[in-house]
Amino acid sequence: MAHQTVGHPVRPGLPDDPRAGVTEPTPACPVEITLAALHGRWTTLVVRELLRGDRTFTELREALPALSDKVLSERLAHLVRMGVIDRHRRAGWPPRVRYTLTAHGRDLGPVLQALWDWGARHRPLPPGEPGGS
Amino acid sequence: MAHQTVGHPVRPGLPDDPRAGVTEPTPACPVEITLAALHGRWTTLVVRELLRGDRTFTELREALPALSDKVLSERLAHLVRMGVIDRHRRAGWPPRVRYTLTAHGRDLGPVLQALWDWGARHRPLPPGEPGGS
DNA sequence: CTGAATCCCTGCCGATACTG
DNA sequence: CAGTATCGGCAGGGATTCAG
């Protein structure tokens, strides 16, 4: 997926960020950056679990039973690369790894809230409902 | 892409919406609904253009030159189905079609703003910046 | 326990060509 | 002008298996 700008039109008083005028999906756009962080199936659910508190790999698997090891592993690595979560290894046996949100990760709370709010207000067309115009 | 809930943990005072506890990516989750509406490459850029005012097919192509006819057509049909935009045909020749945001579509402004804000605050790891924890 | 490697299948998106 | 039809490449993600 790829996305972009917006913001300038929504807030005419915004700083004249040149990224608000891009004409193609570029990774430099802030909207792209955020959607890239949340990209992938299960990603928002993993973030939600971590918003409730730090978790181990197994705890996440138990919270999301239908999520496979491979995909969970991928999602966690992705979120670490995106600076959303941190990975903490505890020495000894058995290996224990805890995942916690970074400061940036915690800042995703309001973003997910905005996504929730719009979806909650929106009727998912049951079927044949235009919208409201 | 697929996503989910959140909201309950972010706002402990939220109504006890059962959707806040789903354990897999279901279309019933509000977060899923919103991400489904914005799903697909170019989608947010098309919405941004329409937030600036209504547009015709050709005007959108000119605003987003790298976007192909086929994909633009797909995105517009998708956004209509999602209740985000309306399609207005004007009789006569040549055919003129204007696309405008619905009320729900205009409500996406704050959502895109939230996405913009997080991405703008976040350093896209240039490379090698964990996050903040 | 916490993953990584592999296989395969599906769905997206771009390019090109064609129609009302 | 405003699309649709078709094709092909590639990345995403699920199941299974293997490793530190």
In the structure, how far is the CA atom of residue B92 from the C1' atom of nucleotide D11, in angstroms?
43
Q: Which nucleotides of D are covered by protein (CB under 7 A)?
A: 1-6, 12-17, 20
Contact of A87 with chain B, judged by CB distance below 8 Å, is answered with: no
3-state SS, residue A36: helix
Average pLDDT of the segment spanning B34-62:
97
pLDDT one-digit tens code per residue, A41-98: 999 999 999 999 999 999 999 999 999 999 999 999 999 999 999 999 998 888 899 9
Tens digits of residue pLDDT in B66-79: 999 999 999 999 99
Measured between CA atoms, the residue of chain B closest to residue A106 is B10
Averaged pLDDT for residues A93-105: 95
CB A52 within 8 A of CB A87: no
The answer to whether B85 and B76 are in contact (CB under 8 A) is yes
Mapped onto helix, strand or coil, the DSSP state of residue B51 is: helix
* Closest amino acid to nucleotide D3 (CA–C1'): B73
Q: In the predicted model, what is the mean pLDDT of chain A?
A: 86
Burial of B126 (0-12, 13-18, 19+ CB in 10 A): exposed
Out of A7-11, A84-88, B56-60, B103-107, pick the least confident. Answer: A7-11
Whether A114 contacts chain B with CB within 8 A: yes
Tell me the CA distances in angstroms from B103 to A130, B10, B88, one per residue in order: 10, 26, 15
Assess whether the previous peptide bond of A15 is cis (omega < 30° from 0).
Answer: no
Q: Where are the domains of chain B?
A: 27-118
pLDDT tens digits, B13-38:
355 688 899 999 999 999 999 999 99
Contact B45, A5 (CB under 8 A): yes
pLDDT of residue A92: 84
**Closest of B88, B79, B73, B3 to residue B47, by C-alpha:** B79
CATH match of A27-118 with 2.60.110.10: no
> Which of the four pLDDT bands, split at 50, 70 and 90, describes residue B127?
very low
